[in-house]
Amino acid sequence: MNGEMVARAPAPPRTEAVLAGLYREHRLALVRLAVLLVGDRESAEDVVQDVFSRLHGKRPETLTLTYIRVCVLNGSRSVLRRRGVAARAARWRTDEPVDSAESAALLGESRQEMLAALGRLPARQREVLVLRYYLDLSDADIAEVTGLRQSTVRSTASRALERLERELGGRP
């Protein structure tokens, strides 16, 4: 390379149109999905933006909503993994995340409790519940996105719901 910058070949116009359409139509829902997985909007927006920038130049037939959801899920996992590494390296941990005054005011008390309880679930359980109840995906779709068997999806969801019920003291 000899220090020269290599320019990426421009994506075919059809690819750009497909990607732009998917971005316009699904960005907000994908950001919401990522927020539920990573816990904050800024990181979630970064995850979705990174996913779409990495998809630039891919063949249009690979650009499906299911594939993009898998990419967002994997990107969210990477964010959480990096956070874990940073926390272990710093040997510093807070027990409760600190919300801004604005976000705390916007969320009702019961919603805050639910989001906090959801955040305390193991990652796989949280992912399955978010995909099932937020995106309203079927067990088959969740299995495809997460790479789990359908029976594992069902048992994971069941265990996650039981744990949420215990943590919330039997409240729905």
Residue 68 contacts residue 27 (beta carbons within 8 Å): no
How many structural domains does the chain have? 2
Give the DSSP H or E segment for 119: helix 109-120
Q: Are residues 16 and 87 in the same domain?
A: yes
- In whole angstroms, give the CA distance from residue 169 to residue 139: 27
Q: How confident is the model at residue 19 (pLDDT cuts 50, 70, 90)?
A: confident
Residue with tokens 């969801």: 157
pLDDT in tens, 57-66: 888 888 899 9
Radius of gyration of the chain (CA): 18
Query: What domain range includes position 109?
Result: 103-172
Residue 132 contacts residue 142 (beta carbons within 8 Å): yes
Domain assignment of residue 56, yes or no: yes
Look at residue 83 in the predicted model and tell me its pLDDT: 79
Q: How confident is the model at residue 47 (pLDDT cuts 50, 70, 90)?
A: very high
Residue 126 contacts residue 37 (beta carbons within 8 Å): yes
Strand residue runs (E) in the chain: none
Domain assignment of residue 97, yes or no: no
The pTM of the whole model exceeds 0.75: no
Q: How many residues does the chain have?
A: 172
Average pLDDT rounded to a whole number, residues 71-80: 92
The structure tokens listed for 104 are 């705390």
pLDDT in tens, 124-165: 999 899 888 888 888 998 998 889 999 999 999 999 999 988
Domain assignment of residue 170, yes or no: yes
Q: Are residues 85 and 119 in the same domain?
A: no
Residue 30 contacts residue 65 (beta carbons within 8 Å): no
Give percent of the chain with pLDDT exceeding 70.
77
